[in-house]
């Protein structure tokens, strides 16, 4: 059985840190609580004071008998989101007069919450998680004054930064995330549940993408999808093997997978809601699932190949978002279509110059076997359109290095001709912090993909055209046949060189929360 994602527990308790009786007081006095975390906010523009008091901080100061604002000021805190300072209170020598804080948790964490925006609170939550590693239980009032969106962002940040990359080997794991977070103040259970669903989706996507490719292959991914869906009611999983793919004419997916010792698969994960309503849609999420990308005969150089175990991040995000939609019991049908293959290097592989027949009959001149993503996606898009009759299709793929060249690692490139769809995805990006930047499907560049021996070439024939991310999107567009469609090129944000705020080092799980949120807000 595959590991499931075991996240820290988050609970909410009514009350305040100033109380001497009741549940919160019990937790404060209990040995399990090792830290109390309070917010420090940035002053409003024009405000003379340096730091802003926030709910709970004054209560905590009273309860502890310590001037926490003075402490924050002396620690040099500015209140910026993501700042965190840990104050470890001293124990007094035996026989001396007991300090005011005796019996209370010995660690106080002062956390900057900036302007209190969703982004700021997500960063505050992440900073809190990093400051509370290895602890059993932390009490916090950070989101006590926030609305449900704020609570959701805080908890999401906390859970996302609690993710740890699995390590292989005998060395001690060392750091473990804080096991339990208690929100003191209101009782915003739906916000906590929503944050947990989002974080669980990201954890799943990260774990799948971080798994090394000596473990991860198309059949392995298919089993992981089965295992993950097995615990989510309302979902079904179909796995199609290479014989089925051949029988149905998946010329792109089969060619890309042909050099590998582990043959391709098409995985279809479906969530059909029990209750629909007016406006219920059928959404198909198509995710690029290359379990390793050597480039094939157009081989990558050694450095470029190193991170290519994450070339199935799109499939992981599409799977995770579909399961999140099911867990939330959304009124829309959501189907993830995941073309999985290893783009290996070997004598049985496809070659530059080959002409492939794709599922819809389009013939493709292979000019570069490293432009494999668009070939597997073309077949998947065709299959989705023909057999699922979707209202809207979004594909998500680590498709081009060019997208990273243009936008860096903090934005996905978003392509669509549908303005309303673009606005929805941009809103989901703003809500989740998984940012997108809309790019143009420049019609003039279609000509760049013309071939003299086939209907289309898989890369631009003339290198002077540039716009590698745009031409890749234009290639995919050919297979959408007018169905409302958006394409997310996540080659940049799917990986991060180092951990920052809620983003983890290595595989980031980018796209899972973005897509889940888009589905959640779909009217
Ligand atoms: N998986 C890569 C894209 C990629 C590059 C993802 C860097 C993440 C980081 C994709 O299959 C690829 O190799 N694309 C080529 C396309 C080119 C041959 C037209 C690229 O970007 O170089
Ligand atoms: Mn490639
Ligand atoms: Zn690739």
Structure confidence by residue, pLDDT tens digits, 19-32: 899 999 999 999 99
Span from the CA of 291 to the centroid of ligand 1 (angstroms): 14
374 is a catalytic site residue:
yes
300 is a catalytic site residue:
yes
Q: Span 76-95, mean pLDDT?
A: 92
Q: Sign (positive/negative) of CA torsion 122, 437, 498, 370?
A: positive
pLDDT at residue 461 tops 90: no
Give the atom of ligand 1 at the shortest distance from the alpha carbon of 295: 13
Q: Which of the residues 180, 300, 409, 438 is marked catalytic? A: 300
CA distances from 358 to 173, 246, 260, 495 (A): 47, 11, 19, 30
pLDDT at residue 92 tops 90: no
Element (H, E) at 405: helix 401-407
Whole-number pLDDT of residue 50:
66
Whole-number pLDDT of residue 1:
45
Find tokens 């809190």 and name the residue.
128
Span from the CA of 430 to the centroid of ligand 3 (angstroms): 27
Q: Which residues line ligand 1 (CB under 6 A)?
A: 293, 295, 311, 368, 370-373, 398-402, 404, 459, 468, 491
* Distance separating alpha carbons of residues 392 and 371, to the nearest angstrom: 25
pLDDT at residue 51 tops 90: no
Q: Span 62-71, mean pLDDT?
A: 91
- Please give the radius of gyration of the chain, using alpha carbons only, rounded to the nearest integer: 25
Q: Span 80-99, mean pLDDT?
A: 92
**From the CA of 294, which ligand is nearest?**
2
Mean pLDDT computed over every residue of the chain? 95
Sequence-distant (6+) residues with CB within 8 A of 94 are none
Query: Minimal CA–CA distance to 53: which of 102, 44, 230?
Result: 44
pLDDT at residue 438 tops 70: yes
* Distance separating alpha carbons of residues 427 and 36, to the nearest angstrom: 34
Q: Which of the residues 54, 197, 374, 385 is marked catalytic? A: 374
Span from the CA of 53 to the centroid of ligand 3 (angstroms): 50
What are 137's strand-pairing partners?
33, 180
């Amino acid at each position: 059985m595959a590991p499931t994602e075991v996240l820290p527990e988050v609970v909410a308790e009514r009350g305040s840190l100033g109380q001497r009786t009741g549940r919160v007081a019990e937790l404060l006095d209990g040995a399990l609580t090792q830290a109390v975390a309070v917010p420090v906010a940035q002053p409003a523009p024009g405000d003379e004071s340096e730091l802003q008091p926030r709910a709970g901080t004054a209560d905590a100061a009273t309860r502890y008998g310590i001037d926490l604002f003075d402490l924050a000021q002396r620690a040099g805190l500015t209140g910026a989101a993501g700042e965190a300072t840990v104050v470890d209170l001293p124990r007094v020598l035996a026989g001396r007069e007991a300090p005011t804080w005796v019996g209370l948790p010995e660690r106080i964490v002062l956390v900057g919450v900036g302007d209190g925006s969703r982004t700021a609170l997500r960063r505050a939550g992440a900073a809190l998680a990093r400051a509370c590693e290895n602890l059993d239980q932390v009490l916090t009032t950070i989101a006590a004054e926030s609305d449900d969106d704020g609570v959701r962002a805080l908890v999401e940040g906390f859970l996302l930064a609690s993710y740890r990359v699995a390590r292989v080997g005998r060395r001690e794991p060392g750091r473990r995330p804080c096991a339990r977070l208690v929100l003191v103040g209101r009782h915003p259970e739906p916000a906590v549940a929503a944050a947990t669903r989002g974080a669980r989706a990201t954890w799943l996507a990260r774990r799948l993408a971080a798994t090394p490719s000596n473990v991860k292959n198309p059949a392995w991914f298919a089993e992981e999808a089965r295992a993950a869906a097995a615990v989510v009611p309302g979902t079904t999983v179909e796995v199609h093997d290479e014989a089925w793919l051949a029988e149905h004419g998946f010329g792109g997916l089969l060619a890309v997978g042909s050099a590998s010792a582990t043959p391709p698969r098409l995985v279809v994960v479906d969530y059909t809601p029990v209750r629909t309503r007016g406006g219920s849609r059928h959404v198909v999420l198509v995710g690029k699932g290359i379990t390793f990308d050597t480039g094939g005969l157009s081989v990558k150089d050694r450095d470029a190949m190193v991170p290519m175990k994450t070339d199935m991040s799109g499939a992981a995000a599409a799977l995770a978002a579909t399961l999140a939609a099911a867990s939330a019991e959304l009124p829309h049908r959501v189907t993830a279509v995941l073309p999985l293959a290893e783009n290996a290097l070997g004598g049985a592989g496809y070659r530059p110059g080959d002409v492939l027949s794709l599922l819809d009959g389009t013939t493709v001149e292979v000019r570069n076997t490293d432009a494999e993503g668009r070939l597997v996606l073309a077949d998947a898009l065709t299959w989705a359109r023909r057999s699922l009759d979707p209202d809207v299709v979004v594909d998500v793929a680590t498709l081009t290095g060019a997208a990273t060249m243009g936008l860096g690692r903090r934005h996905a490139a978003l392509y669509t001709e549908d303005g309303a769809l673009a606005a929805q995805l941009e809103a989901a990006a703003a809500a989740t912090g998984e940012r997108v930047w809309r790019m143009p499907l420049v019609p003039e560049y279609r000509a760049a993909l013309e071939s003299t021996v086939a209907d289309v070439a898989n890369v631009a024939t003339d290198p002077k055209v540039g716009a590698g991310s745009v031409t890749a999107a234009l290639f995919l567009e050919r297979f959408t046949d007018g169905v409302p469609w958006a394409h997310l090129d996540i080659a940049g944000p799917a990986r991060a060189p180092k951990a920052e705020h809620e983003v983890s080092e290595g595989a980031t799980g980018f796209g899972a929360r973005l897509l889940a949120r888009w589905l959640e807000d779909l009217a």
